[in-house]
Amino acid sequence: MADDAEQADAAATATPVDITAPIAPPKITTAAEWRAAVHRRWLLRLTSGVTVKARMADVPSLLVDGVISADELADLGKITHDPAALRARTDLARRVAAQVVVEPRIVLSDGEVPDDAIRASEVGASDALAILSWVLGNPGTVDVFPAEDASA
């Protein structure tokens, strides 16, 4: 009973909140702030212990740019133990890694690559899948740190 009385007293003395009061609009993002956000870089320590510098890419952009198809995106939610499906998922993850990792550069080539780049096929499946998970918003096994230098 005392609890009910205390709650009634608290409600009677509480300052009412005016829900009709206008809310201050957000500040418009400047072009410089927009560019800084778009060009922000992250250090990712991958499952193998390798650290890379990456930019975040959003899934709609990956779809529009043809890096990932709608069917591949739908299949990502499915658990599979089929070796062919796992290879296809790893190939997809390596394509995404080539799109988002800026240092060292990852290239989709089986030919000669510059000294500052590695072939996507050299990225281990666990690392590639960890990068893909990070892009999809599930850092899982990736340690993420803001990069001090936003350039790439």
- In a 13 Å sphere around the CA of 85, the CA atoms on its Cβ side amount to 12
Alpha helices in 76-121 (DSSP H): 83-100
The dihedrals phi and psi of 51, each to the nearest 5 degrees, come to -115, 135
CA distance 90 to 83: 10
Q: Report, in angstroms and rounded to the nearest whole number, the Rg of the chain calculated over CA atoms.
A: 23
Structure tokens at 113: 């690559």
Model pLDDT, residue 7: 64
The dihedrals phi and psi of 45, each to the nearest 5 degrees, come to -95, 115
Of residues 111, 117, 133, the one with CA closest to residue 52? 117
Q: Is the model's pTM score more than 0.85?
A: no
Say if CB 92 and CB 82 are below 8 A apart. no
Spans in the chain with pLDDT lower than 50: 152
pLDDT digits (tens, 9 = 90+) for 18-45: 777 788 888 998 999 888 888 889 999 9
Model pLDDT, residue 100: 94
Say if CB 106 and CB 50 are below 8 A apart. no
The count of residues in the chain is 152
The dihedrals phi and psi of 2, each to the nearest 5 degrees, come to -60, -35
Model pLDDT, residue 80: 81
